[in-house]
């Protein structure tokens, strides 16, 4: 993991993304979650639509989770480059750059919609399981 630590005095703390970008990725993730969980219904009507929805949902998830990886990597690099964890553990005085890094991390975490996304994905998964079981057991007919 040392390859992500850049030992330069000119390390720049990244700027957080604006709300339009945050909302875009939230909705990409949400729509992908809905699509992937609706495959079970689409398959009852048409194998073509089941496959089409699967591809669109997976491409959306790929886009969404690539973005989430990028965010996690940016946060990790800030913590590592500024040695923030060690400084906080040792109760060291923080420089202005350290405080800027902490502000970035806290802002990034506070505006993130990942908590809502995880909740929605969990609820949609439960609904998909119930619908799938109902269809498989003949309780629900489409």
Would you state the pLDDT for residue 6? 46
Across the range 47-70, mean pLDDT stands at: 96
Model pLDDT for residues 61-94, shown as the tens digit of each residue: 999 999 999 999 999 999 999 999 999 999 999 9
One DSSP character per residue, the chain reads -GGG----TT--PPPPPPHHHHHHHHHHHHHHHHHHHHHHHHHHH-HHHHHHHHHHHHHHHHHHHHHHHHHHHHHHHHHHHTTHHHHHHTTPPPPHHHHHHHHHHHHHHHH--HHHHHHHHHHHHHHHHHHHHHHHTTSS--
- pLDDT at 20 exceeding the cut of 60: yes
Would you state the pLDDT for residue 9? 62
Confidence band of 136 (pLDDT split at 50, 70, 90): confident
Confidence band of 7 (pLDDT split at 50, 70, 90): very low
């Amino acid at each position: 993991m040392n390859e992500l630590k850049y030992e330069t005095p000119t390390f720049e703390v990244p700027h957080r993304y604006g709300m339009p970008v945050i909302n875009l990725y939230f909705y990409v993730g949400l729509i992908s979650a809905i699509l992937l969980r609706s495959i079970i219904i689409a398959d009852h009507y048409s194998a073509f639509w089941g496959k089409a929805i699967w591809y669109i949902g997976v491409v959306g998830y790929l886009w969404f989770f690539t973005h989430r990886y990028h965010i996690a990597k940016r946060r990790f690099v800030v913590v590592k480059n500024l040695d923030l964890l060690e400084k906080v553990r040792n109760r060291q005085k923080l420089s202005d750059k350290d405080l800027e890094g902490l502000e970035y991390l806290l802002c990034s975490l506070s505006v993130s919609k990942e908590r809502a996304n995880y909740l929605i994905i969990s609820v949609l998964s439960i609904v998909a399981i119930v619908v799938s079981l109902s269809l498989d057991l003949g309780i629900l007919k489409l």
